[in-house]
């Protein structure tokens, strides 16, 4: 739904289907690399832990994402539902990116999400590890933006 409605569907309590939809919507938004758009999925006072950084609120989310995507070039992400319960979702993910010096990385991680009653994420806890990879070992080759529906997810890629 639009941001004017005050609802970010799907809303809790989650089912397998709605939790999977929520994960794909998040993946799609992050693959735009539009920090302002991504931040709209979070509550105005959303609490984040990303690696060793702790911050809150949409303005800080936007600042964080802008810094991230200036450093992580050619960013492509796949998220996969791990578990869900009521208003919480656990996700595993992997993304590939290139540094300004041309080195490639695959970053692996897990996120724990908690949503308010209107479907906005009020807490995001992310643990992430980076692995240096050779360009020939990249697995994500779709054009920048949304991962096409016919491309395999993490499990099928062996990640």
- Domains of the chain (ranges plus CATH)? 6-140+151-157 (3.10.450.50)
pLDDT digits (tens, 9 = 90+) for 31-90: 999 999 999 999 999 999 999 999 999 999 999 999 999 999 999 999 999 999 999 999
In the numeric block, which tokens belong to residue 157?
Answer: 């890629």
Q: Quickly count helices (H) and strands (E) in the chain.
A: 4, 6
- CB count within 10 Å of CB 137 equals 11
pLDDT digits (tens, 9 = 90+) for 91-148: 999 999 999 999 999 999 999 999 999 999 999 999 999 999 999 999 999 999 999 9
């Amino acid at each position: 739904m639009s941001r004017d409605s005050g609802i970010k569907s799907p809303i809790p309590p989650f089912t397998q289907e709605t939790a999977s939809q929520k994960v794909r919507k998040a993946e799609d938004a992050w693959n735009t690399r539009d920090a302002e758009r991504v931040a709209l999925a979070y509550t105005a006072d959303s609490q984040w832990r990303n690696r060793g950084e702790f911050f809150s609120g949409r303005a800080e989310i936007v600042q964080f994402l802008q810094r991230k995507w200036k450093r992580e070039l050619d960013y492509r992400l796949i998220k996969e539902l791990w578990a869900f319960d009521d208003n919480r979702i656990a996700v595993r993910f992997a993304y590939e990116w290139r540094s300004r010096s041309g080195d490639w990385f695959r970053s692996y991680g897990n996120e724990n999400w908690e949503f308010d009653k209107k479907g906005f994420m009020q807490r995001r806890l992310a643990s992430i590890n980076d692995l240096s990879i050779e360009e020939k070992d990249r697995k994500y080759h779709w054009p920048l933006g949304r991962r096409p529906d016919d491309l395999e997810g993490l499990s099928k890629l062996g990640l």
